[in-house]
């Protein structure tokens, strides 16, 4: 019985080590993420419908809205979809079928800046440099250090 237990423990340790090594081999370094983001954003500025702000936030207006825009301290309700530059979705209120409501000054600075450009009913696509997103800290297992991000955001109300 003791021999079987030791074999199971050895198997579990081997699987964990393999998983960790595989994850590390496939993870991009913070420097590689930053370089990839900068290259993507530089190329993106050449596209016809892309607008770039002084901070480096890029956006595309998909649908225009009407009325006033929220301030940085407003409480907003949005639908959104967040992806990596490769298109891998890491979060979506659409897939949860539930819009998100939050104070605008308590999210990443790219969102705070970008949503203030919008009116109710507008839908924008934001291309957010890493320093306006999660920066060096990243976020969970899905957003690496220094990753630029893409969000489609629809402002429902504020």
> What residues are annotated to the active site?
80, 90-91, 108, 134, 151
Q: Which residues contact 155 (CB under 8 A, 6 or more apart)?
A: 65, 70, 76, 77, 78, 115, 118, 119, 120, 121, 122, 123
* CA dist., res. 104 & res. 147, Å (int): 21
| Residue for token pair 């956006």 | 59
Dist CA 78 CA 84 (whole Å): 19
Q: Which residues does 88 contact at the CB level (< 8 Å), separation at least 6?
A: 142
If DSSP codes are grouped into helix, strand and coil, which group holds residue 125?
A: strand
Instruction: For residue 138, give the nearest of 34, 3, 24, 18 by alpha carbon.
Output: 34
């Amino acid at each position: 019985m003791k021999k079987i237990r030791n074999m199971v423990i050895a198997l579990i340790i081997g699987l964990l080590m393999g998983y960790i090594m595989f994850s590390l081999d496939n993870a991009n370094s913070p420097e590689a993420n930053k370089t990839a983001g900068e290259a993507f954003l530089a190329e993106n500025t050449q596209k016809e419908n892309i607008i770039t702000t002084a901070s480096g936030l890029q956006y595309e207006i998909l649908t225009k809205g009407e009325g006033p825009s929220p301030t940085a301290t407003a409480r907003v309700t949005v639908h959104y979809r967040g992806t990596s530059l490769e298109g891998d979705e890491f979060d979506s209120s659409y897939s949860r079928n539930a819009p998100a409501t939050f104070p605008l000054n308590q999210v990443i600075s790219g969102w705070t800046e970008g949503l203030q450009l919008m009116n109710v009913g507008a839908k924008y696509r934001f291309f957010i440099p890493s320093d306006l997103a999660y920066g060096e800290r990243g976020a969970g297992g899905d957003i690496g250090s220094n990753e630029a991000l893409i969000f489609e955001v629809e402002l429902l109300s504020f």
